[in-house]
Structure 1
Amino acid sequence: MNRTPILAGIAVGCAALLAAVFFMPSQEGVSETDAFTAPGLEPLTVDQALTEFWSLTPALLLVVYDAFGQTQEDGIYDTLASVTHGDALEYLYLERVGAMAGGGLEEADQTIHEIKLLNTQIAREGATLAIDASWQVIGTVGHAEHLHVRGNTYSAELSVAPVEGAWRITDFALLDVNRDTAGETFPAPQTN
């Protein structure tokens, strides 16, 4: 009997288990009094994050949009990694880098002015917040001679959880993008 395939299968299974233990965020050790950082906010416990999701969600998304405004791959990745983890980090990074490969931003040309939550449902699953959200991003996108005001609306399912002492988006599934309120054009401001 050839045991090589069986031993190889066991080795692969053990490697997968070790990867899950060492590289996936553990929430079993999260207590009700543990507080985790978030960009621009005071540290939040899980219960506080549940009640303050209306400020936590836009704070995390604002950093994602900041990363999307970057033009260097390392800047994009590092900025995303500060507020995302795991599947969400991979998905969002590949989305941005894919846009660059398709002739995306060559220089930073966007400014986000506001992220406004529209419709949101939230549920707590242990230390993870499952957020089904719609939000509008209001900002400007610049070109050589003018700026466009944008008011795009997005819908996504997000998972937000404490990872390495901070609140991070751990799963992100974009459901819809509505660009109907694209805005208007006006002259770019004078520069020195």
Structure 2
Amino acid sequence: MILSGVCLLAALASGAFSTSKHPGPPVFLELHLEGGGLSAVLNGEQSVLWDWFGMEEPPGVTWTEVERAQVLSAARGVLPQMAALEVNGQRVLAQVRSVDYLGAYQGAYGAEPSLLLQLDYELLEAPHQVSLEWSLFPEDSLGGVPRLPVHLLGAASFDYVVLTAEEPGWTWHRDLSDTFALPPVAPVEVRSRPVLRSMTLLILGLAAGLAVSVFGSHQGRSLMIGLGGIFLAGVWSTIGAGALALPGGSQSLVISESLMRRVYAAFDSTTEEGIYRLLASSVEPELLDSLYQGILGSLVQADQGGGARGRVESLEITQAELRPRVSLSGRPAFGVQIEWVVGGLVVHFGHEHSRRVRYGGLATIVAGQGKRGDGASWRLAGLDIHSSVREEGGSGMAPAGK
């Protein structure tokens, strides 16, 4: 679970892109959300970008300062409008900050030389909505539909879209409300006290008060003391009657699956605060930071000068077996040996790969700390992953932590 993205991205770190030809579109755009700012990287084959910039003779492999200035000037004449965005409803032009030459096998395009252009956008406020319309779509090296892949990356944000002439527009929203329909988790049940006991205690209490008023203070006190002893005995007999109840075997498995799905679904939020808030509804505080950092770190991985990003798209629980029930910090808890398969999308250098990784581990689930359990739900207190295997002929990476 925690290292799902690492396994999904494992193939990327093995040099899978050292091919002679980039497998797909010759240009892609990355948008980067950093703090309250927005920047971009346009990466593409030189042969395409020279045409976009209106340059007939590209500079040589080693640029002089004059040649770099010429390329930068040509890019600044075209890209501000071409790469303009609509941010929070306002049109913002792109500012070309720099351009770099990448030779054969130095960038994303194998033997094909490429350019890397850094773009900035001046914003008046942090972006919560970003829209893009694109007009030029170069031919796909694989013979597919001409298209432009667009990645949006941030500390806790990720989106991926492929624009075409038929669908040239895209809009991203930062969800500020974080109102996701997380799978429900069964509430912790409290064993109710028998009605007979409750009624008996009530009658004893009323009888004690009546004794004082009818028999006077001396006799009434004696009778009240006697009835009080019976009353305390009744109270003592009810201790434990309101204890938290462990779920049955089948319900335990349902609870564990619901919690796993809630943890994955939390990362659909587009803000770090939102992810934490959603995780906190299902995860014990002691596990929260490590779980967040582990999953987030697994979804972002640097690779050969670029960034690979994974997105979980499906979750299938394939096996679940209840383990001996335990107590955790005095609260009812149980373990579930669970096996699940994560289906994901890995996006890197303008193209995507589908991945499936099978995991095995032990989930520890504990009763929530509501008042006597009232209104509390079961929560994830631990997740120890002991195996991960890449399906369809691949191999996973051993987890580096819990």
Q: Distance in 1 between matches of 2:248 and 2:387?
A: 25
Measured in 1, the distance between the counterparts of 2:300 and 2:391 equals 26
Equivalence for 1:176: 386
Alignment partners' CA distance in 1, 2:286 and 2:299 = 20
When Rg is computed on C-alpha atoms for both structures, the one with the higher figure is 2
Q: Look up the equivalent residue of 2:343 and give its one-letter code.
A: G
Paired with 1:132 and 1:161, the residues of 2 have a C-alpha distance of 14
Give the Cα separation in 2 of the matches to 1:99 and 1:119: 27
* Cα distance between partner residues in 2 of 1:146 and 1:47: 47
Query: Offset of 1:101 from its aligned partner?
Result: 6.4
Q: Secondary structure at the match of 1:49?
A: coil
1:154 paired with 2:360, answer: yes
Distance 1:121 1:94, change over 3 A: same
Structure 2, unaligned runs of 5 or more: 1-181, 190-243, 371-375, 395-402
**1:65 aligned counterpart, secondary structure:** helix
TM-score by length of 1: 0.59
Within the alignment, does 1:131 sit opposite 2:335 as a pair? yes
The alpha-carbon distance between structure 1 residues 105 and 76, as it changes in their structure 2 partners (threshold 3 A), is farther
CA distance in 2, matches of 1:124, 1:50: 14
Question: What CA deviation, in whole Å up to 9, does each residue of 1:118-165 have, x standing for no partner?
Answer: 444140426422304122124342546555251411212413222342
RMSD between aligned residues: 3.3
Partners of 1:116 and 1:137 within 8 A in 2: yes
Instruction: Specify whether residues 59 and 122 from structure 1 end up closer, same or farther in structure 2 by C-alpha distance, changes over 3 A only.
Output: farther
1:96 to partner: Cα distance? 2.6
Aligned to 2:275: 76
**For residues 68 and 117 of structure 1, do their structure 2 counterparts lie closer, same or farther at Cα, with a shift above 3 Å needed?**
farther
**TM score, norm. by length of structure 2:** 0.31
Aligned ranges 1:1-192 → 2 under 5 Å: 39-45=183-189, 46-47=244-245, 49-51=247-249, 52-70=251-269, 72-99=271-298, 102-103=301-302, 109-125=311-327, 127-141=331-345, 143=347, 145-146=351-352, 148-164=354-370, 165-169=376-380, 171-181=381-391
Structure 1 unaligned spans of 5+ = 1-37, 185-192
Q: Deviations along 1:36-58, whole A, 9 cap, x unmatched?
A: xx943553425462431110001
Contact map agreement 2:188 2:367 (CA 8 A) in 1:
no
How many pairs does the alignment contain? 145
Contact 2:360 2:388 in 1 (8 A): yes
Q: Specify the SS of the correspondent of 1:84.
A: coil
Q: Distance in 2 between matches of 1:101 and 1:53?
A: 33
Distance 2:366 2:269 in 1: 23
How many angstroms apart in 1 are the aligned matches of 2:271 and 2:383? 24
**Distance in 2, Cα, partners of 1:183 & 1:81:** 36
Distance in 2, matches of 1:94 and 1:109, equals 15
